[in-house]
C-alpha cells in the first residue's frame, strides 16, 4: 500500500488531483481536522465535490471527540473519526472497514490468513450479524462496544427465552451466549435452538459461543454437551473476541468447525478457564492502603472502543456499573439475612463479572468467594465477606468517579 503525506489541506488536495491525473489515484485519505489554510472538513468537502476524487475514502483525526457532530461528518463524506493518539489496531480496523475486504486482498496480492490475522478478515467480520445473550448490564455494554468497534451488526437478548425467540425470528451469523441467566439459562436456550435445528433440516447450524465467568470443573464439558460450539471466559479482550469470531465466521474456518460441532477452538483452548480455572479473577487479599482498586488498562480498553459521534461509552459503562452494583449489594445483604444460598450465589456471580470487566480485580475476587460460598452452602463467613466487599466497593466507586471527572474535562479517554 503506497502512502504520501501533506502538510496542509491545499497541498493534500493538489496531490490527490495530480495522482488522479496520472491515473494513480489514492484509495484513502486520512485528514487532520486542524490544518493551515483548509481544515479537514473543508478538504473533505472539496474532495467530494470533485467528480474525479469523490470515490476516495475519507477518515478524519482530531484530538477531541466532540470537535465534529455526526451530521457534519456525514455531510462531507467522512467515514470514520479517530481520536488522537490513534491505536494501530483501531487504524487498521477502520481502514479495513472503509475500503472493504476484497479491495485490500487484491491490492496486497496475498493469500487469506488465519482467523483474525488480516485486514481482509476484519472486513469480513464487519458485515456479520451477532446476537449477544447477556443479562448483566455492564457486560452488555462492554461486549456490544467491542463488536460495534469491529463493525458488526449487534442485537441483544437479556435471557435465554429472548434468545430462542430472536433466533426463530431472524437469521444471525453467530450467538454469544451467557451461561447463567434468569428465566432460561444459556444451556437450556442452546438445547432448544439445537432441537429446532434438528427438526427443521433446512436450517444451517448456528454458531453458538458460550460466555462464562465460572470456575466450576466440568462447566466447559457442559457447554459442549448442550450444543455450544466453543467457550470464551469473561472478561475477554478485544483480540480474544475477534479471534473467536474469526474461528467460526471466516469462510475457510466455518466449513471445518461446523463439520465437527463441539470441536475446534474449544478443544484446543489451553487457558486456565478452559480447564475449570479462571486466571482473570484470582483470589487475592485487599489492596494495600493507597493502592488503586482499579487496573486502569481495563478502562483504557473500554475508552478505546469509543465510536465517532456517540455519547461516551466509558461514562455509560461506569454509570451502569454504579447503579447495578449498588442494587447487587442490596440483594446480597437481603440474601445473607435470609440465608438464601442461591440468592447469594447469583448476586455474587453478577457482581464478580461486572467488576472484573472494569478492572476491579480485588472486588471481583471477593465476589467470587461469596459466590462460591453460596454455591457450596458455606454461609458462615458470608457476613464478613460482605463487609469486605462493601469496603472495597466504596474504594472502587471513588476511583471510578475520579475517572468520570477526567472524562468531563476531556482527559481520561485520550490519556488512559
pLDDT tens by residue, 219-261: 777 888 889 999 888 888 888 898 899 889 875 444 444 444 4
Report whether pLDDT(333) > 90: yes
Quick check: is 102 in a domain?
no
Report whether pLDDT(266) > 50: no
Quick check: is 3 in a domain?
no
Give the number of domains in the chain.
3
Mark whether 364 and 267 lie in a shared domain. Answer: no
Angle at Cα 78 formed by Cα 74 and Cα 79, nearest 5°? 100
Determine the pLDDT at residue 59: 86
Other Cβ atoms within 10 Å of 82 Cβ, number:
18
SS3 (DSSP) at 381: coil
CA distance 346 to 343: 5
Quick check: is 114 in a domain?
no
Mark whether 256 and 342 lie in a shared domain. Answer: no
The C-alpha cell that represents 109 in the structure block:
496480492
Mark whether 81 and 166 lie in a shared domain. Answer: no
Quick check: is 1 in a domain?
no
SS3 (DSSP) at 340: coil
Cα Rg of the chain (Å, integer): 24
Q: What is the pLDDT of residues 371-397, one digit of tens each?
A: 999 999 999 999 999 999 999 999 999
CA distance 125 to 88: 18
Mark whether 266 and 300 lie in a shared domain. Answer: no
Mark whether 300 and 251 lie in a shared domain. Answer: no
Quick check: is 287 in a domain?
no
Burial of 163 (0-12, 13-18, 19+ CB in 10 A): buried
Q: What is the pLDDT of residues 105-155, one digit of tens each?
A: 334 333 333 333 344 445 557 678 999 999 999 999 999 999 988 888 899
Mean pLDDT of the region 258-278? 39
Determine the pLDDT at residue 77: 86
CATH classification of the domain holding 151: 3.40.50.2300
* pLDDT band, very low/low/confident/very high, at 2 (cuts 50, 70, 90): low
Burial of 270 (0-12, 13-18, 19+ CB in 10 A): exposed
Looking at 71, 86, 101, the residue that finishes a domain is 86
* pLDDT band, very low/low/confident/very high, at 310 (cuts 50, 70, 90): confident
Q: Do residues 331 and 343 lie in contact, with contact meaning Cβ atoms separated by under 8 Å? A: yes
Secondary structure letter of residue 66 according to DSSP: G
Determine the pLDDT at residue 87: 65
Quick check: is 290 in a domain?
no
Quick check: is 269 in a domain?
yes
Mark whether 264 and 167 lie in a shared domain. Answer: yes
Burial of 59 (0-12, 13-18, 19+ CB in 10 A): buried
Looking at 27, 56, 86, the residue that finishes a domain is 86
CATH classification of the domain holding 339: 1.20.120.160
Mark whether 226 and 340 lie in a shared domain. Answer: no
Alpha-helical segments (H) within 132-202: 137-149, 160-169, 186-199
Quick check: is 306 in a domain?
yes
**Which H or E run includes 209?**
strand 207-212
Q: Residue 147 belongs to what domain range?
A: 128-275
Determine the pLDDT at residue 339: 95
Amino acid at each position: 500500500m503506497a502512502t504520501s503525506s501533506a502538510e496542509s489541506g491545499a497541498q493534500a488536495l493538489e496531490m490527490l488531483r495530480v495522482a488522479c491525473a496520472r491515473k494513480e489515484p489514492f484509495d484513502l485519505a486520512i485528514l487532520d481536522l486542524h490544518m493551515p489554510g483548509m481544515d479537514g472538513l473543508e478538504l473533505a468537502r472539496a474532495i467530494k465535490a470533485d467528480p474525479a476524487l469523490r470515490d476516495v475514502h475519507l477518515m478524519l483525526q482530531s484530538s477531541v471527540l466532540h470537535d465534529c457532530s455526526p451530521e457534519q461528518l456525514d455531510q462531507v463524506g467522512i467515514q470514520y473519526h479517530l481520536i488522537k493518539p490513534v491505536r494501530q489496531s483501531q487504524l487498521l480496523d477502520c481502514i479495513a472497514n472503509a475500503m472493504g475486504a476484497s479491495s485490500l486482498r487484491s491490492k496486497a496480492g496475498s493469500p487469506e490468513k488465519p482467523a483474525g490475522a488480516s485486514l481482509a478478515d476484519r472486513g469480513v467480520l464487519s458485515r456479520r450479524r451477532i446476537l449477544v445473550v447477556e443479562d448483566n448490564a455492564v457486560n452488555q455494554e462492554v461486549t456490544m462496544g467491542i463488536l460495534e468497534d469491529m463493525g458488526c451488526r449487534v442485537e441483544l437478548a437479556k435471557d435465554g427465552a429472548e434468545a430462542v425467540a430472536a433466533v426463530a425470528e431472524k437469521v444471525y451469523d453467530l450467538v454469544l451466549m451467557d451461561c447463567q441467566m434468569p428465566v432460561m439459562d444459556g444451556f437450556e436456550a442452546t438445547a432448544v435452538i439445537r432441537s429446532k435445528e434438528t427438526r427443521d433440516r433446512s436450517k444451517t447450524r448456528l454458531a453458538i459461543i458460550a460466555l462464562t465467568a465460572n470456575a466450576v470443573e466440568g462447566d466447559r464439558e457442559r457447554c459442549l454437551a448442550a450444543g455450544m460450539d466453543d467457550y470464551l471466559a469473561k472478561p475477554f479482550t478485544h483480540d480474544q473476541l475477534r479471534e473467536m469470531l474469526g474461528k467460526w465466521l471466516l469462510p475457510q474456518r466455518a466449513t471445518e468447525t461446523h463439520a465437527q460441532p463441539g470441536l475446534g477452538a474449544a478443544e484446543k483452548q489451553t487457558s486456565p478457564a478452559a480447564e475449570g480455572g479462571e486466571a482473570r479473577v484470582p483470589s487475592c487479599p485487599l489492596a494495600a492502603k493507597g493502592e488503586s482498586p482499579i487496573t486502569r488498562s481495563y478502562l483504557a480498553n473500554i475508552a478505546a472502543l469509543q465510536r465517532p459521534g456517540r455519547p461516551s461509552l466509558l461514562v455509560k459503562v461506569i454509570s451502569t456499573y454504579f447503579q447495578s452494583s449498588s442494587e447487587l449489594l442490596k440483594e446480597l445483604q437481603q440474601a445473607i439475612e435470609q440465608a438464601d444460598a442461591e440468592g447469594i450465589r447469583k448476586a455474587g456471580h453478577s457482581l464478580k463479572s461486572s467488576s472484573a470487566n472494569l478492572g476491579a480485580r480485588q472486588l471481583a475476587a471477593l465476589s467470587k468467594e461469596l459466590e462460591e460460598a453460596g454455591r457450596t452452602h458455606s454461609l458462615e463467613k458470608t457476613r464478613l465477606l460482605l463487609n469486605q466487599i462493601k469496603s472495597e466497593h466504596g474504594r472502587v466507586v471513588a476511583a471510578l468517579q475520579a475517572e468520570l471527572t477526567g472524562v468531563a474535562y476531556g482527559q481520561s479517554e485520550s490519556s488512559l
